[in-house]
Chain A
Amino acid sequence: MRNAIAIARKELSIYFTTPTAYAVFCGMTFIAGMMFLAALGYFQRMSMQFLSFQQPQLLDHLNLTDMVVYPLLRNIGVIFLFMTPFLSMRLVADEKRSRTFELLMTSPIRPFEIMLGKYLAALGLMAVAVGLLALFPLIVSFFGSAGTMMNSGGGSPIEWSTVISGLVGLFLVGAAMMAVGMFVSSLTESVVVSALVTFVILLVVWILNWQAGRLEGTARDVLDYLSMPTHLDAFAKGAPALKDLVYFLSFMILGPFFTERAIEAHRWA
């Protein structure tokens, strides 16, 4: 475990002393900010419209969690789709390219510890990403008001249980994507190939359910289950089921498992 933590610390120190993490996180928060403003603008227009109907009780059907935070978290899944390949691409591939792989493989550490250290670093990055994104609901909760005219009784303008469930869902999406990315990275020496292949795989997994509409019965259910947005949606709505958690956990177990195999394979060929 000590070795894994040493590797995780090394990975994170490289991410945060080079521009990589900053560039990716800046891009992420910028795009998320645009999405956030768009969702807020829509919310504002709807509120104005309902007011002009002179039916203020309709306003009770509007709330910030469902109309701003929920679509925002769902859309951020798409940002993750573009962002994670850039974060995961160098995990193992860069070690091979810069020959430091030789150092790791001739040090008294197990391939499992190398993999674990790298995945822990990847999870750390995703935790930072989700932490940054949590700022948006925080902003809403500061400036929003809980009730409208009918029930301005107070309470938080944000339904925190739903939002936290959504943020956990985003973290799991990121963790699953990093698991795929780390495995792809362990198969190549080229970071470009690593990022590209990861992106293609993730995109396919993301849009699998586009085909579901044409199908019926079991085939439709299977495609729906296999595609990632289905499960992010369940978390973002605040009602994740066990199957949603199992879906993400299977990525988080299989990705590292195959990565460990790929690293171990170097000892054999």
Chain B
Amino acid sequence: MIEVRNLTKRYRDLVAIDQVSFDVAPGEILGFLGRNGAGKTTTMRILTGFLPATSGTAKVAGFDVFEQPLEVKRRVGYLPEQPPLYVDMTVYAYLKFVASIKGVPSAKMKSEMERVANLTAIGAVMDRVIANLSKGYRQRVGLAQALLNDPEVLILDEPTVGLDPIQVREFRDLIKSLAGKHTVVLSTHILSEITATCQRVLIIRQGKVVACDDLAGLAKKHQDGTHELSLEEIFVKLAEN
């Protein structure tokens, strides 16, 4: 579903990501790990067509993100690190606006908005102005926005920041329910989230891929004698500069 080949992004002298390659199969949930500044957000921005790569290619559902951006954008739901909210609008007006620019037909508008509001449990705040919402609610409105029009691919940049423990658990269940039908790339710093939801893990360090494997394979590769390392120990080992 997602094919990334030798993706490189330079900001003047700074190399943000360097020759990154990986694949994500349809229906798979990929956990994307790395320390702050390792290049996670940059990679996600390139995948969504927000930033161009310096070199290399990225394809989503067979479409090149740079050559056919509209085809890609139609298939991708994206939650950036900072939820892209118009704080002066109500949740309802905001979701309606996003639904219309994502091409949800007017006849289905209402049911589609209800569907994402139920998935993210924001039905109670639909008429509130976004500026007055708590961080957790804002995060969920951002997630609802990404789910609109039922995209095949979801790219979520630290989606659980600001959620309370119960919401985090609900969010995990939501992600798990998406597996199979949707392809999800999910970045987070909470490792237990990865073990709970993801089938495969991609770890990058200073812009380079250091591991891309399923959880069992990763554990096997990094066996320490008879003792199997936890994801946290593997992460520390791989991601530390």
Contact = CB atoms under 8 A, between A and B. Distances in A.
Interface string A1-35: 01100110110011001100000000000000000
B84 A268 contact: no
Interface in A94-114: 98-110
Interface residues of A, number: 27
Given A13-B93, A99-B80, A106 B88 contact: no
Given A102-B50, A108-B73, A10 B97 contact: yes
A108 B65 CA distance: 12
Interface stretch (B99-107, B199-207, B227-235): B99-107
Given A3-B101, A6-B97, A6-B100, A107 B73 contact: yes
Which of B86, B101, B102 neighbours the largest number of chain A CB atoms within 10 Å of its CB?
A: B101
B93 A267 contact: no
A101 B48 CA distance: 13
B31 to A, nearest CB: 21
Interface residues of B, number: 28
B187 interface: no
A269 interface: yes
A101 B49 CA distance: 12
Nearest to A113: B101
B70 A100 contact: no
B100 A3 contact: yes
A108 B70 contact: yes
Contacts of A108: 70, 73-74, 101-103
B78 interface: yes
Given A2-B100, A3-B100, A267-B49, A100 B69 contact: no
Given A106-B78, A268-B52, A100 B84 contact: yes
A107 B52 contact: no
Interface string B61-100: 0000010011001101010101011111100010001101
B48 A13 contact: no
Given A106-B48, A108-B103, A100 B76 contact: no
A102 B80 contact: yes
A101 B51 CA distance: 12
A100 B98 CA distance: 11
A89 B175 CA distance: 40
B86 A98 contact: yes
Contact of B98 (A99, A107, A110): A107
Interface of B: 45, 48-50, 52, 66, 69-70, 73-74, 76, 78, 80, 82, 84-89, 93, 97-98, 100-103, 145
Given A13-B93, A102-B84, A108-B73, 16 more contacts: A2-B100, A6-B97, A10-B86, A14-B88, A98-B86, A100-B85, A100-B86, A102-B45, A103-B84, A106-B48, A106-B49, A106-B78, A107-B102, A109-B101, A267-B52, A268-B52
15 contacts: A6-B100, A10-B89, A10-B97, A98-B85, A99-B80, A99-B84, A100-B85, A102-B50, A103-B78, A103-B84, A104-B101, A105-B50, A106-B48, A106-B49, A108-B102
